[in-house]
Amino acid sequence: MPVTDITHDLETLTLTITAHFTAPVERIWQVYADPRQLEQVWGPPEYPATVVDHSLTPGGRVTYFMTGPEGDRFYGYWNVLDVDAPHSFTYEDGFAHEDFSPHTELPVSRCVSTFTPQGGGTRAVYVTSYTNREGLQTVLDMEVEEGSRSSIDQIDALVL
């Protein structure tokens, strides 16, 4: 299992996930840079993703939806803020309506994904920050820790 640690901190309003992959940094980067590969790991297996738009460039946007076991859809977006390929990218992550307009009643977070070489593979650190405690608590109540673990744990099988 790639995920080695998940911690949340209600004081600093962060959720941090650390994972180790057997593949090199460049290969892990491709998972996020290619929308068809991203679909295979964005969301838990029970909620597969469909990426609609994908521009992993500063100022770019990624839109997607996840389809649940009953056929229900959950929409989201990334507003890409910074990219240092293949080492890191920063984006604003939000929930959306079906037309991909922001769902303002749900929290928006700032996410930094960093990939560094380690032992012939990759150490990935995903840090998600929230503007308030309620936002972080909302996603914790939505089981974001469990969903993130099962999503990220799919990457090794994809990159082998």
pLDDT tens profile 50-94: 999 999 999 999 999 999 999 999 999 999 999 999 999 999 999
Residues 6+ apart with CB under 8 A from 141: none
pLDDT tens profile 109-152: 999 999 999 999 999 999 999 999 999 999 999 999 999 999 99
HEC secondary structure over 137-150: HHHHHCCHHHHHHH
As given in the structure block, the two tokens for residue 38 are 């991203």
- Whether residue 1 is predicted with pLDDT greater than 80 in this model: the reply is no
pTM, two decimals, is 0.95
Whether 93 and 76 have beta carbons less than 8 Å apart is answered as yes
pLDDT tens profile 7-43: 999 999 999 999 999 999 999 999 999 999 999 999 9
Query: In terms of Cα–Cα distance, which of 36, 5, 13 is closest to 128?
Result: 13
Give the CATH superfamily of 3-157: START domain (3.30.530.20)
Helix (H) or strand (E) holding 121: strand 121-130
- Within 10 A of 137 (CB to CB), how many other CB atoms are there? 15
Is residue 136 classed as helix, strand or coil in its secondary structure?
A: helix
Instruction: Return the DSSP state at 4.
Output: E
Query: In terms of Cα–Cα distance, which of 64, 124, 70 is closest to 96?
Result: 64
- For CA atoms 118, 119, 120, 123, the dihedral sign is negative
Residue 160: pLDDT band by 50, 70, 90 thresholds? Answer: confident
Residue 51, exposed/middle/buried by CB under 10 A (0-12, 13-18, 19+)? middle
